[in-house]
Chains A and B, each alone.
Chain A
């Protein structure tokens, strides 16, 4: 089925470890996004990519890096995980640079101990 695929679905990290969250979409969308969702704080934008080859910071970028590998793939890297990064991470994509709704992946539930 067409959509956004995120891996892994669950991950437990120790403080200081690094990891990369993978995201791929097969809808030929130009724009891709990484959000985190925390209870009581809603969805907050970490990084986004308006098109292949470009990335920009969102509301909460500290502690994260991203790579837009090609039009399909947009990865999120935690270089040195901290307990404050315990969250559910969602990747999303949209048709164009604005004015369109998102298609979300199913999320990665990350726990940092």
Chain B
């Protein structure tokens, strides 16, 4: 059974204070690892896909990295508008019938001005 564990559950940062969110996963053959951002009362918004260990993706102040067991979402010099819940999800290679994703519970990031 695929499993995704995210830590910490909540993270409070001062504006400009860089940090990282962790996503540990167990999957029988990784097809892809995904990061999403979710604002209160809205659906998750897709950020990145990582396919293999060593891969990195960047978008503005966010950088996602991947190893064989975990992924990190690094936030550099965050701003208050980066406050959101960040979700991690995995798809197993054996799910040939569809891109079923298993999600973690998320990390809620609050950035104070």
Contacts and interface: CB of A to CB of B under 8 A. Distances in A.
Interface string A74-113: 0000000000000000101010111111111111000000
Interface string B13-41: 00000000000000000011010100001
Interface residues of A, number: 30
A107 B87 contact: no
Contacts of B51: 99
Interface residues of B, number: 29
Contact of B98 (A31, A41, A42, A101): A31
Given A42-B105, A43-B87, A104 B99 contact: no
Contact of B99 (A40, A42, A100): A100
Contact of B42 (A99, A100, A107): A107
B1 to A, nearest CB: 10
A87 to B, nearest CB: 14
Contacts of B49: 99-101
Given A50-B97, A56-B97, A107-B43, A101 B34 contact: yes
B101 interface: yes
B99 A90 contact: no
A13 interface: no
A31 B89 CA distance: 17
Nearest to A95: B99
Among A42, A56, A104, max chain B CB count under 10 A is at: A42
Contact of B44 (A40, A41, A96, A102): A102
A25 interface: no
